[in-house]
């Protein structure tokens, strides 16, 4: 187990380093200047700004300064938002993004497993068909369309929820549902297929023959094995919640990291784009790392070599 843990940790750190380097050099390769939005800016002022932010230094010097800043948790100042650093932007936006993300994860996991289990138990009945239709819709419709429909129906027409902003729990319900629609549908399909397969196994039939109730058979014998594909999906699920929040935060005017990132891209604010991009990558890579460890703990029968190959 320790050997597996160390290998996964090394792979995660190397992946993060590659992402950091690629993000930096790709952003430097993009043409444009964040200070040229004002076409009337004198050349002397532009040169002074480049000197102040170190943009006139060699690219390798900027790269080393960027790596040093990341290692010391100093992601640098914003070019566009005067008086704000990338660290401050993360500090201000992270709680909102994390709250929205945790709500979406809870909805996805809870309702995905619930609907999938019901669909498997009620196989060949209307409940299973209904859940299948909902899953297809959830996978087919993009989250920005679902968000717009939720705003129109539940906020504008029925006035049950606020249409935008993020001032209370009620403000978070619609964006969390929109963000959770796709992963909920996918988890429901995964859980349904896995549970149907497990329920057809001989040991499940033996447990039923011994007189155990359906609840005990599912909860004690089938659920542990059926949920393994869902656990393996938690990494991509986290990625979807992180990247999907960009659009959702913009639609609902939520002051999270995603909204800052979208605004910074349009403003060519390179330190914010690079800093937030790497920060997202850091979260995602280590979520994947912990998911691999959890998967190993749930099913200790997994061999180390095969587990590494799957990853």
- More confident call, 191 vs 304: 191
Under the banding of pLDDT at 50, 70 and 90, the label for residue 216 is confident
Count of residues in the chain: 311
Six-digit token string for 18: 């590659």
Q: Does residue 164 sit in helix, strand or coil?
A: coil
Q: How far apart are the first and last CA of the chain?
A: 16
Under the banding of pLDDT at 50, 70 and 90, the label for residue 309 is very low
- Asked if residue 33 has pLDDT above 70, the reply is no
Query: What percent of the chain has pLDDT above 90?
Result: 12
Backbone angles phi, psi at 51, to 5 degrees: -70, -40
The structural architecture, per CATH, of the domain 93-255 is Orthogonal Bundle (1.10)
When pLDDT is averaged across residues 169-186 and rounded to a whole number, the result is 91
Under the banding of pLDDT at 50, 70 and 90, the label for residue 300 is low
Question: pTM, whole model, 2 decimals?
Answer: 0.75
Q: Tell me the per-residue pLDDT of 52-88, one tens digit each, with 9 for 90 and over.
A: 777 778 888 888 888 888 888 888 888 777 778 888 8
The predicted pLDDT at position 305 comes to 43
Q: State the Cα–Cα distance between residues 17 and 278, nearest whole angstrom.
A: 9
């Amino acid at each position: 187990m320790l050997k597996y843990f160390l290998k996964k940790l090394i792979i995660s750190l190397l992946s993060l380093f590659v992402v950091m380097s690629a993000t930096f050099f790709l952003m430097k390769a993009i043409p444009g200047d964040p200070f040229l939005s004002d076409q009337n800016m004198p050349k002397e002022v532009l040169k002074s700004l480049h000197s102040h932010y170190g943009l006139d230094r060699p690219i390798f010097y900027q790269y080393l300064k960027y790596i040093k800043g990341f290692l010391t948790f100093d992601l640098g100042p914003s070019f566009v938002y005067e008086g704000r650093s990338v660290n401050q932007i993360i500090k201000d936006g992270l709680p909102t993004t994390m709250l929205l993300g945790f709500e979406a994860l809870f909805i996805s996991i809870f309702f995905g497993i619930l609907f999938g289990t019901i669909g498997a138990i009620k196989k060949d009945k209307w409940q299973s068909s209904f859940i299948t239709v909902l899953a297809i819709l959830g996978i087919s419709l993009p989250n920005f369309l679902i968000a717009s429909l939720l705003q129109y129906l539940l906020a504008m027409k029925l006035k049950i929820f606020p249409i935008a902003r993020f001032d209370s729990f009620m403000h978070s319900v619609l964006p969390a549902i929109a963000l959770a629609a796709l992963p909920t549908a996918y988890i429901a399909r995964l859980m349904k297929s896995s549970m149907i397969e497990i329920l057809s196994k001989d040991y499940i039939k033996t447990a039923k023959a011994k007189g155990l109730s359906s609840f005990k058979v599912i909860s004690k014998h089938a659920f542990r094995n059926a949920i393994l594909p869902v656990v393996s999906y938690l990494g991509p699920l986290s990625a979807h919640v992180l990247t999907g929040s960009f659009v959702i935060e913009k639609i609902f005017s939520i002051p999270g990291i995603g909204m800052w990132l979208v605004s910074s891209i349009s403003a060519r604010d390179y330190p914010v784009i690079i800093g937030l991009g790497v920060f997202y990558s850091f979260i995602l890579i280590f979520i994947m790392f912990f998911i691999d460890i959890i998967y190993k703990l749930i099913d200790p029968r997994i061999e180390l070599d095969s587990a590494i190959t799957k990853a």
